[in-house]
Amino acid sequence: MSFNSLNLTKYVTYMRILITGAALLGIWCFVSAWLYNDKLMPAIKNPVKVQAIPEVLTHEADSIMKIKESMPKSLLIYFDFDKAKFNPDPQSDNSVSAFRTWLEKYPQSALVVTGHADIVGTAEYNNDLSLKRAQTVEKYLETLGINSGRMIIESRGETEPIADYLTPEGRSKNRRTEVSLKMQ
């Protein structure tokens, strides 16, 4: 093979590639112009009207909110320093009767009895003390007719204060057991 025939073969190959590329570019331009002019522009100028599906209003969320609003408020029982005993009063007895009524009406709900402590003492001691406080309230609730199987007993120790720890009044508010309802 001579030098000129080799160059001619490369030249023909390059020309074929260029012609094929130009033909594909022309086809792509034609198809994209057709899609743009015949399909996209009419859709933009005359958008398809979407029929509105009538919305069925459910009042389920409203019903749940009404149920939650009718729940008895949490009952807070306060304890003396380093004690797990308390003296029930008529106000706590009335709150418990509201909880009992609620539990009868909504069998899927439960009472959450959460014991708390102030910051005086070690964390382990305060966890134990707040658990004893919660168990004391659990026994009190059982004497008023609430099944222990419907109660969840928790101990939070000193981790969830509702008042400051700097003043004696604040610390006394943190020595508590909270009774609240939980929907399951």
- Is 120 part of any domain? yes
Whether 134 contacts 85, CB under 8 Å: no
- Per residue in 12-26, pLDDT (tens digit) is 888 899 999 999 999
Tokens 């305060």 belong to 126
pLDDT on residue 61: 64
For residue 83, the one-letter residue type is K
- Is 106 part of any domain? yes
- Is 100 part of any domain? yes
Residue of 182, 183, 181, 184 whose CA lies nearest to 74: 181
**What is the rounded distance in angstroms from the CA atom of residue 157 to the CA atom of residue 175?**
9
Q: Tell me, rounded to whole angstroms, the distance of Cα 51 from its chain centroid.
A: 34
pLDDT on residue 166: 87
- Is 5 part of any domain? no
- Is 51 part of any domain? no
- Is 46 part of any domain? no
Its pTM stands at 0.64
The average confidence (pLDDT) of the chain is: 86
- Is 109 part of any domain? yes
- Average pLDDT of each block of 10 consecutive residues along the chain (184 residues)? 70 90 92 85 73 67 74 89 87 85 89 94 93 94 90 93 90 93 82
Domain of residue 81, CATH code: 3.30.1330.60
- Total domains present in the chain: 1
**What is the rounded distance in angstroms from the CA atom of residue 179 to the CA atom of residue 181?**
7
Name the burial class of residue 117, with classes exposed (0-12), middle (13-18) and buried (19+) by CB atoms within 10 angstroms of its CB: buried
- Is 121 part of any domain? yes
For 167, the domain range is 73-183
Residues 6+ apart with CB under 8 A from 74: 178, 179, 180
pLDDT on residue 95: 84
pLDDT on residue 36: 84
